[in-house]
Amino acid sequence: MLDSITHSTFLPNTMVCEPLMSWTELFGTTEDYYPSFDHQPVCNSFWTSVHPEHWSKHDVCEWLQFCCDQYKLDANCISFSHFNINGFQLCSMTQEEFTDAAGVCGEYLYFILQNIMTNDNDKACLRTGGMKSQESHSHGLQSSHLWEFVRDLLLSPEENCGVLEWEDREQGIFRVVKSEALAKMWGQRKRNDRMTYEKLSRALRYYYKTGILERIDRRLVYKFGKNAHGWQENKL
DNA sequence: CCTACTTTTCCTGTTT
DNA sequence: GAAACAGGAAAAGTAG
């Protein structure tokens, strides 16, 4: 009900860099589409090989530049003076602070950064078999409800992969484009490989009662309700 | 441990 | 016929 605006990690990140599941596992083999993987260059870059906490001021600056190019963000809406900081400081910025410093772009930047940190964490976990739980706590990364997961995916151009798509950005109407893929992603988040769209959608339907979602008569189309927050474009 | 709340699982029936 | 949608019920998971 009154969750703070804890933004979760996007999914454990699967497809960027070291996939936990193969594409075919994740999206099925019988699919007719092919991944539009023009988002991938995050891979193998400095940004994912060195934990953001260790970035220098210069690195942070470069990262902003990189994001603008890569994700087509308008550099003009970024107040670079707010980002004259090192990686450690960057990591401790809240989503609100990102928004203050760069508006909508800030929101994306925040998500991109969270994403990188999550990847890092996951990789470390895989190698060492368990990382200090501190890191995952520092940004409320572990807590995500289904609707927040969906919201974050919608706000995350680099993770989305066309699984979800805005139908009407202003009204918060969106469409599930690849239902089973979404279910797999959610399942991976919850470490539940038995998740299906059938079951996920049941959970979504419960949101109608609580006003997190509003009913839309079209198949695979949902709308954020009055009790959902954090999806609007200009509002924090 | 208890409670409240969310999500998962399963199911039967309906609609597209 | 295949996918989705609808909800009821109950079990399981989680936060506090």
Taking the model in full, what pTM does it have?
0.53
Q: Is the CB of A199 under 7 A from strand B?
A: yes
State the nearest residue by CA to the C1' of B4. A1
**Nearest nucleotide relative to A209: CA against C1':** C7
Q: Are A144 and A189 in contact (CB under 8 A)?
A: yes
Give A55-84 as a DSSP string: --HHHHHHHHHHHHHHHT--GGG--GGGG-
Q: Which residue has the higher pLDDT, A232 or A178?
A: A178
Is the confidence at residue A210, as pLDDT, over 60?
A: yes
Query: What is the mean pLDDT of the segment spanning A215-230?
Result: 95
What's the pLDDT tens digit per position in A150-191? Answer: 998 998 876 788 899 999 999 999 999 999 999 999 998 898
Q: What pLDDT is stored for residue A173 in this prediction?
A: 97
Protein residues with Cβ atoms closer than 7 angstroms to any atom of nucleic acid strand C: A 142-143, 179-180, 190, 197-198, 201-202, 205, 208, 215, 217, 219-221
- Enter the DSSP assignment of A168: E
Question: How many CB atoms within 10 Å of residue A115?
Answer: 21
- Å between A202 CA and B11 C1'? 12
Query: Helix A179-189 crosses helix A146-154 at what angle (to 10 degrees)?
Result: 120
pLDDT greater than 60 at residue A9: no
- Residue found by looking up tokens 């942070």 in the block: A60
Q: Quick one: pLDDT at residue A46? A: 64
Q: How far is the CA of A98 from the C1' of B13 (A)?
A: 48
Q: Who wins on pLDDT, A30 or A215? A: A215
Q: Is the CB of A207 under 7 A from strand B?
A: yes
**A37-81: per-residue pLDDT in tens?**
333 333 335 666 677 887 778 778 888 887 776 666 777 778 888
Whether CB of A224 is under 7 Å from strand B: the answer is no
A70-91 tens-digit pLDDT: 666 777 778 888 888 888 888 8
In the three-class reduction of DSSP (H, G, I as helix; E, B as strand; rest coil), residue A176 is classed as strand
* Residue numbers in A 111-170, CB below 7 Å of strand B: 145-147
Give mean pLDDT, residues A214-228: 96
Identify whether the C-beta of residue A182 lies closer than 8 Å to the C-beta of residue A200. Answer: yes
The 10s digit of each residue's pLDDT in A88-143 is 888 888 888 888 888 878 888 888 887 777 665 544 433 333 333 333 323 333 44
DSSP classification of residue A53: G
Q: Is A164 helix (H, G, I), strand (E, B) or coil?
A: strand
